[in-house]
């Protein structure tokens, strides 16, 4: 009888040990910075009353160490609001959204965010002011902002407002000069001169953003300087046509950050404190619908500013549609002569008298190659053309019954008033 009771007692103690481990593991399991990361190690923070049954022989050999927990302090856990992930492009782990992530990102960029004030009036008498935001991107005083903040669009052509007032986060005020402005992208460059080095923001890459990534908007909404709001990326390639905006094709980053009048021109920042967009507009009477120009597009525009002082956009005179498997299948059901393609860009309309019309493009053509590069989207065609207005380009197209021909098109510079 006595041996039986001893076995029961031993089994009960073992059960208590495993139960304590399971309970502790389900409650407070977290990583510590004081561990040797060259070896796998786990720290369990548990109430002191549970610690006695846990001193097992395999604690040290397997890297598991109990840590008695007195009064519970949630700050010890350093809880993250998202799991870290590895970027498929650079194979580098991106940080979690922790307690200080937003604050750190705002602190990195905040000093470089400025308030831009423009006075309106006649005969030198100011009657009104408009407010916007901007970001210092070079220590020499180069500021990135929106064109509509510093440019007058009332009339057939955009006209620079010339001088603007720039206020830094530390309260210093400068007179700024509008150096360049592009109507289509709504991007402009303002320059200020300072005797001391100026804080500048680091530019990131908008191409690495994914829907659901956290972002921060910084600016001066309603003239309230140094305002920070946060949200997520809702869409990485929202087309201007989706928003009912006519004219030339543009793409925006859609976020749910709170954006208001005065945020225009301010930076959209990732959790690494890098500028990934320029906040440009919101949808009135709609919550969580804000838009920014991707920084990759902005960088190309600023490069053209440096090179030519303006942006050159080649024009073909084509209305095109991106093809995918579903659209191709539907088109083949409607017309059995539709060419056999797996990807490409469908020509929906050709403008009479345009470069494409002179080159021989027809509605129904599927562009599969441009300048010896395969194409699967309008975006790729635009990237291949770049700023090469007046430079001949060879396009390979497929027509009905799988006829393949090569057309030579000479892009023209688009009309700035279009």
Give the CATH number for residue 286.
Answer: 2.40.10.10
Whichever domain contains 351, its CATH number is 2.30.42.10
Choose the catalytic residue: 130, 148, 213, 414.
148
pLDDT on residue 122: 62
* Both structure tokens of 83: 């799991």
Tell whether 323 and 301 lie within a shared domain.
no
The boundaries of the domain holding residue 60 are 2-77
Q: Residues of 187-213 as b/e, b for ≥16 C-beta within 10 angstroms?
A: bbbbbbeeeeebbbbebbebebbeeeb
pLDDT, position 62: 45
Question: Would 86 be classed as within a structural domain?
Answer: no
- The answer to whether residue 100 is catalytic is no
- Average pLDDT over every residue of 309-336: 93
Q: Decide if pLDDT at 3 tops 60.
A: no
In a domain, 90, yes or no: no
pLDDT average, residue stretch 271-280: 96
Distances (CA, A) of 114 to 18, 144, 183, 227: 59, 10, 22, 11
* Region 50-66 average pLDDT: 44
Same domain, 164 and 222: no
- Residue 96 falls inside a structural domain: no
pTM: 0.71
Collapsing DSSP to helix, strand or coil, 37 comes out as: coil
Tell whether the model's pLDDT for residue 76 goes beyond 90. Answer: no
Cα 311 to Cα 118, 277, 386: the distances in Å are 24, 18, 10
The number of domains in the chain is: 4
- What confidence score (pLDDT) does residue 161 get? 52
Whether residue 399 is found in the same domain as residue 364: yes
Please write the tens of the pLDDT for every residue from 148-165: 999 865 443 444 556 899
Mean per-residue pLDDT for 238-261?
A: 87
Examine residue 261 and state whether it is found in any structural domain, yes or no.
yes
Give domain status of residue 38, yes or no. Answer: yes
**Is 186 in the active site?**
yes
Return all residues near 200 (Cβ < 8 A) that are at least 6 apart: 112, 136, 137, 138, 139
Look at residues 260, 287, 306 and tell me which one is the last residue of a structural domain.
306
Residue 148 appears among annotated catalytic residues: yes
pLDDT of 127: 55
Catalytic entry in 108, 182, 186, 213:
186
Whether residues 302 and 323 fall in one domain: no
Do both 294 and 341 map to the same domain? no
Domain boundary among 132, 159, 191: 191
Residue 152 and residue 172 share a domain: yes
pLDDT value at residue 16 = 52
Among 8-22, 49-63, 284-298, 309-323, the least confident range: 49-63
Altogether, the residues listed in the chain come to a count of 418
Averaged over 2-21, what is the pLDDT?
49
- The residue among 191, 224, 248 that closes a domain is 191
Q: Given 206, 264, 290, 297, which residue is catalytic? A: 264
pLDDT at 247 over 80: no
Same domain, 126 and 149: yes
């Amino acid at each position: 009888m006595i041996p039986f009771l001893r076995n029961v007692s031993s089994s009960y103690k073992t059960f208590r040990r495993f139960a304590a481990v399971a309970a502790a593991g389900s409650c407070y399991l977290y990583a510590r910075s004081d561990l040797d990361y060259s070896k796998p190690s786990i720290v369990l923070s548990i109430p002191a009353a549970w610690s006695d049954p846990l001193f097992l022989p395999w604690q040290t050999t397997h890297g598991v160490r109990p840590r008695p927990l007195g009064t519970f302090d949630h700050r010890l856990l350093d809880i993250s609001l998202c799991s870290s992930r590895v970027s498929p492009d650079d194979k580098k782990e991106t940080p979690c959204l922790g307690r200080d992530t937003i604050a750190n990102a705002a602190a990195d960029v905040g000093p470089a965010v400025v308030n831009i004030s423009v006075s309106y009036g006649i005969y030198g008498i100011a009657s009104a002011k408009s407010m916007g935001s901007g970001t210092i991107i070079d220590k020499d005083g180069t500021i990135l902002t929106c064109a509509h903040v510093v440019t007058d669009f009332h009339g057939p052509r955009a006209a620079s407002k010339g001088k603007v007032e720039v206020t830094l986060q530390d309260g210093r005020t400068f007179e700024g000069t509008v150096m360049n402005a592009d109507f289509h992208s709504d991007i402009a460059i303002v320059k200020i001169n300072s005797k001391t080095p100026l804080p500048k923001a680091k530019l990131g890459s908008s191409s690495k953003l994914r829907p659901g990534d956290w972002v921060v908007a910084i600016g001066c909404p309603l003239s309230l300087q140094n305002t920070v709001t946060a949200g997520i990326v809702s869409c990485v390639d929202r087309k201007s046509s989706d928003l009912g905006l006519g004219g030339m094709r543009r793409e925006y980053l859609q976020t749910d950050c709170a954006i208001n009048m005065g945020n225009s021109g301010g930076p959209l920042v990732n959790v690494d404190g890098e500028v990934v967009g320029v906040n440009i507009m919101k949808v009135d009477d709609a919550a969580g619908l804000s838009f920014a120009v991707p920084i990759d597009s902005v960088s190309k525009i600023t490069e053209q500013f440096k090179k030519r002082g303006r942006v050159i956009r080649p024009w073909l005179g084509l209305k095109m549609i991106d093809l995918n498997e579903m659209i191709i299948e539907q088109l083949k059901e409607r017309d059995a002569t539709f060419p056999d393609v797996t990807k490409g860009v469908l020509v929906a309309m050709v403008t009479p008298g345009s470069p494409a019309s002179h080159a021989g493009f027809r509605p129904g053509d599927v562009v599969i190659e441009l300048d010896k590069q395969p194409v699967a989207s309008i975006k790729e065609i635009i990237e291949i053309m770049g700023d090469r207005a007046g430079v001949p380009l060879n396009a390979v197209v497929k027509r009905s019954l799988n006829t393949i021909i090569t057309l030579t098109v000479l892009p023209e510079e688009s009309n700035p008033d279009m």
